[in-house]
Chains A and B, each alone.
Chain A
């Protein structure tokens, strides 16, 4: 009798595990695919009513996934992008800071800097642009909206490059 109970418990546990670690991420991957295309379109029309409606809808679609797949950095970036479309920049910055607890990539630092710039946090934004630039270069610095922060970011990354070249003995 007890063997049958244990076997049934194993079966139930397996079903629950498959749902949690396979079905949920699969569903979130599909939803993220759908939201990704919609977010791209909405950014082309940033500030418009249709973009805001799309962002609201996207957040509603992805909200549950973000809670369940916390270490999925792409999901966090997608969600923060939609919060930015609604000018809810502090929520977007919070999501990006949370994502940096699981993965550190230049793109995340750049996005965080951009969001902080919109929040008026210029010094914090500069730090994050420089973190991104020191690693990945300045290829996207042209997108920094604030000219002063942009120039200072270019200068800081340039100094870092010069120092590295000097240490390498190539300058």
Chain B
């Protein structure tokens, strides 16, 4: 009995050791690629940063108005964007090499799938980023308009406008990349709810004064003029 157990254990160990030894060069090669890749990514980032600073790209971006566009999207430096792009490319190449080192067939399959998926992913990301940018612009306009019209819930209205667009663009982006097909109708419902709430707030708060004036007029109270009395022009 003990002899059989020992034989099974030995065979298992031999199989494990054999397979591990067979894979070990791939793992070591993968680790090597990973270390080199990380180092290269960092070095490439620093070189890109150095070169971009030397070439005064920030000033050029400022001159052509690119900086302002990036600032609107919450990105404070054109150099940072380029450096991050270089690093992302290096990281993707490293990941690809590591996968090839571990399992060429799997890596090839994943790479193929990735490239097949890339156009949809790109469009999805573009829709999402476009939605974020549009939400900032519309949220800002809603905020300014609400403040200038004297609505007490200006920030809430702006947040609702901004959030509605983010939800909608996210839902469209996810739908495009094939994730959560049921999200889009839900998002539209959320938007509709948000729009209804925003409209109710805007109309309710905006007309409060008008209603008050109407009641005052009906009761025969004196009514203050609506304008500040100045001809600004």
**Do the two shown chains form a genuine complex with each other?**
no
